[in-house]
Structure 1
Amino acid sequence: MKELSRLVMDYARCQGASAVGIATTETLSGGPPSADLTYVLPEAKAAIIQGVKAYSQRPEMEGGYHHSLMPDMKLWLTCGNCQLICHPDKAVRKERYDMLKQSGAVIQERDGSLKAVSPQDAVVHVESLDKATRSLYIDTQ
């Protein structure tokens, strides 16, 4: 078991954990509920499952990169808005989220090019997609 632990720690350090730190359940014991590494939000799990389903149906594109947690497939990032919205203060988070919702959308064309559009044009674009493609972005049921 010690050998396995050493291998895991070596791998984690190699992947950049030394830049952010490594914590164990013992290190975090007595902390707030968010420090419980064993607790999984049921709604977060459901969101991840839906996201993975949609992601797996994406058309293959050029580019992308290999992520250390997905060594056999490439990863393409399309958004990153969660990084713009995230803030520990709920009021700030809500303000940022509302600002994002009102600021429009970026549409990625089939050739990979990106186009910024108004919220209204984004709705028209999504409604113009065939049902299979539209279902990747919104619930069509």
Structure 2
Amino acid sequence: MTKQNFRSFLLIVIFTLALPLSSFADEVKPAETVEPLGAGTWDQIYYGSLNVGTSKTTTGNFTSGGGDIRVCVQGVDIGNKISFQFERASGAVGPPFVYDNQLGSSVGSDFCFPKLDVRPYVDSSGKLTLNLAANGLKSSDTVWVRVED
């Protein structure tokens, strides 16, 4: 190979390596244009008011597809302490959880409990039909309850 051919070859190699490879890549869409499809977002499976007293009160039935569920409550009177428990026909689902408004936090605030994994409770169809039971310290307290799957 002559010096001229070698220089030409070397220039071609240098320009090839200097060309950014990203110019050949597919266009990448920004993260804000990607929409999650179910997983990663909370879907509301129950919403309603519940008149909670000192004896057990339950919501109507709702169905979960398994995985994680959580309860959010709003409007608990100041000075009330409410215990919630998921139930199904064959018994309790997970441990009870308590919202204690004894210290007088904002009555209208929305509070969501930590998520609960209900996979161990699903039936052979992969679904779980359950309700939410509640009782409190006060004789009557109307609260709003939202269950998310």
TM-score range normalised by the length of the shorter chain: under 0.3
Quick one: higher RCO (CA 8 Å, sep 6+), 1 or 2?
Answer: 2
Give the TM-score taking structure 1 as reference length.
0.22
Higher CA-based Rg: 2
Larger strand proportion, structure 1 or 2? 2
Larger helix proportion, structure 1 or 2? 1
